[in-house]
Structure 1
Amino acid sequence: MEPTQPPQQPSSPQGGPQQQGWPAPGPYTSPGGPYATGPYGGPPGMPGVPGVPGVGPYGQPRRSTNGLAIGSLVSGIVCCLPPLGLVLGLIALPQIRKKDQAGKGLAVAGIILSAVSCLLLVVGLVTGAIGSAVDSFEKGVDEASRTKSPFALRTGQCFGDDGKLEDYATDVEIIDCAKPHDGEVTGSFKLTGYGKKWPGESEIEGVAEKRCDTINSAYALDTWAVPTDVLVYYYMPSGQSWRLGDRTVTCAFASEEGSFAGSVRSDASTLTADQEHFLKSVNPIDTVGYREPDDDPDEDFAANKAWAGEMLAAIDGARAGLAKHHWPGASTAPVAALGKELDAAAEQWRKLAGAADADAYWEAYDTAWDAVPADLGAKARTGLGLTDTLPVEEGPSSSA
Structure 2
Amino acid sequence: MGALVASICGGLGIGSLLGIGFGIAALVQIKRRPQKGRGLAISALVISGLTLVVTIAVIIGAFINEARDSAAGIEDVDVAELKAGDCIGDVSESSAISDLPTMPCSQPHMAEVYHVFTFPSGSYPGSTAVVTESEERCSAAFEPYSTTQNEDMDIYYLYPRNVLDWQRDRGVTCIAVDPTETRTTSLVK
Tell me, yes or no, whether TM beats 0.5. Answer: yes
| CA distance 1:206–1:145, shift in 2 (3 Å) | same
Q: Distance in 2 between matches of 1:200 and 1:259?
A: 35
Q: Partner residue of 1:183? A: 111
Q: Distance in 2 between matches of 1:140 and 1:264?
A: 22
| CA distance 1:190–1:140, shift in 2 (3 Å) | same
Partner of residue 86 from structure 2, selected from 157, 160, 168 = 157
Q: Tell me the secondary structure at the aligned position of residue 181 of structure 1.
A: coil
| CA distance 1:180–1:259, shift in 2 (3 Å) | farther
Number of residue-to-residue matches in the alignment: 127
Q: Distance in 2 between matches of 1:141 and 1:181?
A: 13
Q: Distance in 2 between matches of 1:177 and 1:145?
A: 10
Partner of residue 232 from structure 1, selected from 143, 155, 166 = 155
- How far is 1:212 from its partner? 0.8
Larger relative contact order, structure 1 or 2 (CA cutoff 8 Å, min sep 6) = 2
Letter of the 1:265 counterpart: L
- Give structure 1 stretches of 5+ with no counterpart: 1-131, 271-400
Q: CA RMSD in A?
A: 3.1
- In terms of fraction of residues, the more strand-rich structure is 2
Q: Partner residue of 2:127? A: 201
Identity within the alignment, %: 23
- Give structure 2 stretches of 5+ with no counterpart: 1-59
Q: Distance in 2 between matches of 1:254 and 1:137?
A: 25
Instruction: For 1:244-255, list aligned pairs within 5 A.
Output: 244=168, 246-255=169-178
Instruction: For 1:17-96, list aligned pairs within 5 A.
Output: none
Q: Tell me the secondary structure at the aligned position of residue 183 of structure 2.
A: coil
Q: Distance in 1 between matches of 2:65 and 2:116?
A: 33
CA contact (8 A) 1:184 1:263 kept: no
| CA distance 1:265–1:242, shift in 2 (3 Å) | same
Q: Tell me the secondary structure at the aligned position of residue 129 of structure 2.
A: helix
1:262 correspondence with 2:184: yes
CA contact (8 A) 1:216 1:252 kept: no
Q: Distance in 1 between matches of 2:181 and 2:95?
A: 17
Length-normalised TM-score, structure 2: 0.55
Q: Distance in 2 between matches of 1:215 and 1:261?
A: 20
Q: Tell me the secondary structure at the aligned position of residue 128 of structure 2.
A: helix
Q: Partner residue of 1:148? A: 77
Q: Distance in 2 between matches of 1:224 and 1:175?
A: 25
Q: Tell me the secondary structure at the aligned position of residue 209 of structure 1.
A: helix
**1:69-102 C-alpha deviation (Å, 9 max, x unpaired):** xxxxxxxxxxxxxxxxxxxxxxxxxxxxxxxxxx
CA contact (8 A) 1:147 1:172 kept: yes
State the structure with more CA Rg.
Answer: 1
Instruction: For 1:1-400, list aligned pairs within 5 A.
Output: 136=64, 139=67, 142=70, 146-161=75-90, 164-192=92-120, 195-196=122-123, 198-218=124-144, 220=145, 223-226=147-150, 228=152, 230-239=153-162, 240-244=164-168, 246-255=169-178, 257=179, 259-263=181-185, 265=187
